[in-house]
């Protein structure tokens, strides 16, 4: 089940059609307030969220409010192609973004990739990895610092888990994208930098991540 929050009826109906053809049940909302209520009522597997919604609550506000209580995957739709807008969405906790105009088939492919990554169990799903003061609980999908749970977005946790499973290795942005977002993901490598910045902000000194200049990142 997917909640689609988009005020342009033409775009909404087109996306709805392709998602239903892909096997998903879709519920639509045309503004932020109804979108939030729909998510609370339906508890979907994923939310597709337009940035430029009408009314007092825009897409970024909806994303921020959802992230305060949930790690549900979120894909942002934006008509603005500026880097600032994309970074803002990712910093609010969005898992991915798609710039209008876009291919509905590509959007459905991204939906499938995100859900596949979020819902595929791992062989070591019950493992708890300890990195300094940080615990990465793969089974509960929780990050804890000194025993306290730190809320992370789906993609933030996936990145933390991948780094933790490969600690000590210098990983390029491309390797991180392939390992976390999937080899079929299409987007800017700077997406990795935004998520790393969010992890550093949320986990603080408990997250001993080094920047390897000219390469990428290494969890020590």
Structural domains in the chain plus CATH codes: 2-119 (3.40.50.2300), 128-219 (1.10.10.10)
pLDDT for the residue 123: 47
Q: Tell me what pLDDT residue 184 has.
A: 67
User: Residue ranges of the chain with pLDDT lower than 70?
Assistant: 80-86, 117-126, 183-187
State the DSSP string of 107-171: HHHHHHHHHHHHHPPPTTTT-EEEETTEEEETTTTEEEETTEEE---HHHHHHHHHHHHTTTSEE
Burial of 194 (0-12, 13-18, 19+ CB in 10 A): buried
What pLDDT is attached to residue 17? 94
Residue 31: name the closest of 10, 5, 51 by CA: 5
CB 5 within 8 A of CB 35: yes
Each residue's pLDDT tens digit, 156-166: 888 999 998 88
Instruction: Give bridge partners of residue 171 from the DSSP assignment.
Output: 217
pLDDT, tens digit, for every residue of 7-53? 999 999 999 999 999 899 999 999 999 999 999 999 999 999 998 88
The DSSP 8-state label assigned to residue 189 in this structure reads T
Query: How high is the pLDDT of residue 213?
Result: 87
Residue 98 token pair: 């798609």
pTM here is: 0.66
């Amino acid at each position: 089940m997917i909640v689609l929050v988009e005020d342009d009826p033409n775009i909404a109906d087109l996306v709805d059609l392709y998602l239903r053809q892909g096997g998903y049940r879709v519920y639509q909302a045309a503004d932020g307030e109804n979108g939030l209520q729909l998510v609370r009522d339906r508890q979907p597997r994923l939310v597709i969220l337009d940035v430029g919604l009408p009314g007092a609550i825009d897409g970024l506000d909806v994303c921020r409010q959802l992230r305060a209580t949930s790690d549900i995957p979120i894909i942002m739709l934006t008509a603005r192609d500026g880097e600032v807008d994309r970074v803002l969405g990712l910093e609010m906790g969005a898992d991915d973004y798609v710039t209008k105009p876009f291919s509905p088939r590509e959007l459905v492919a991204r939906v499938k990739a995100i859900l596949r990554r979020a819902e595929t169990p791992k062989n070591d799903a019950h493992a708890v990895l300890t990195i300094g003061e940080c615990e990465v609980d793969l089974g509960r999908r929780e990050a804890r610092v000194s025993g306290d749970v730190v809320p992370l977005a789906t993609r933030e946790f996936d990145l933390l888990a991948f780094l933790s499973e490969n600690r000590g290795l210098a990983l390029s942005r491309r390797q991180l994208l392939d390992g976390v977002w999937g080899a079929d993901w299409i987007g800017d490598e700077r997406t990795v930098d935004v998520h790393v910045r969010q992890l550093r902000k949320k986990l603080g000194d408990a997250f001993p991540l080094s920047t390897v200049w000219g390469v990428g990142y290494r969890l020590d």
